[in-house]
Amino acid sequence: MQKKERFRRFLDYFIQHYPEPQTELNFTNPFELLVAVILSAQCTDKRINQITPALFARFPEPESLAAASVDEVFTYIRSVSYPNNKAKHLVGMARTLLEKFGGEIPATVEELQTLPGVGRKTAHVILSVVYNAPTMAVDTHVFRVSHRLGLAPLSATTPLAVEKALMAYIPKQYVPKAHHWLILHGRYVCVARAPKCEICQLKDFCKFYQKHQNHQNQD
């Protein structure tokens, strides 16, 4: 199957069945989303959603977070992964946000990456969700699913390489949605250790499934 056809079938399925995918992080404004995404690195959205209500109630805007001590922020996020670093990042992010951007969430990858705790992936999530920009954030789910389905070549061994492979074939208007489609599919169906191929609606064009079936047939 040609790459173009593989992408077409991927897009057709999700456009039909999940036309409006959403992030599973709970937030009410761009600032809250930025905080939640920084916290979500190497941690589940479910865990983040458990701790953010109290955090957002105490620090509802950049000003209160910028004025906080790292120790106090730590008490709210102690149950997430790497809480010490993330507490420092959140306070530094709020201070930089006020000093450089007047408290407004930047709208470019370059500006977002000047904020402590914000890398390329986090910047792309913010741009995609807040500004509906055609940016593809590549996390572990996107990386894995893209390779298994054959959307990204095995030679694409970095997040940036996978990002470029996806952006080359996904129409711009679908890029923000495709990010969520890949994440959700990886989170609930194409899981890392034991992918649920038996319930997957994409297996008829999935390279991983075809290879697995061939091995079983040879056995």
Alpha helices in the chain (DSSP H): 3-17, 30-40, 45-58, 62-66, 70-77, 83-101, 109-112, 120-131, 140-149, 159-167, 175-188, 207-218
CB 104 within 8 Å of CB 115: no
Q: Which two tokens stand for residue 89?
A: 């990042």
DSSP secondary structure code for residue 105 in this structure: P
Q: Is 206 marked as a binding-site residue?
A: yes
Number of CB atoms found within 10 A of residue 108's CB = 12
- Residue that has been written with the tokens 């920009």 in this structure: 133
Q: Is 43 marked as a binding-site residue?
A: no
Active-site hit among 46, 88, 100, 121? 121
Q: Is 197 marked as a binding-site residue?
A: yes
Number of CB atoms found within 10 A of residue 5's CB = 10
- For Cα atoms 146, 46, 62, give the angle at the middle one, nearest 5 degrees: 100
Using alpha carbons, list the distances in angstroms from residue 156 to 71, 151, 160, 161, 165.
Answer: 40, 10, 8, 5, 8
CB 216 within 8 Å of CB 197: no
Active-site hit among 139, 164, 204, 219? 139
* 172 included as an active-site residue: no
* 211 included as an active-site residue: no
CA distance linking residue 130 with residue 8, whole number of Å: 26
Q: Is 190 marked as a binding-site residue?
A: yes
**Which residue numbers belong to the known binding site for [4Fe-4S] cluster?**
190, 197, 200, 206
**Which residue numbers belong to the known binding site?**
190, 197, 200, 206
Active site residues: 121, 139
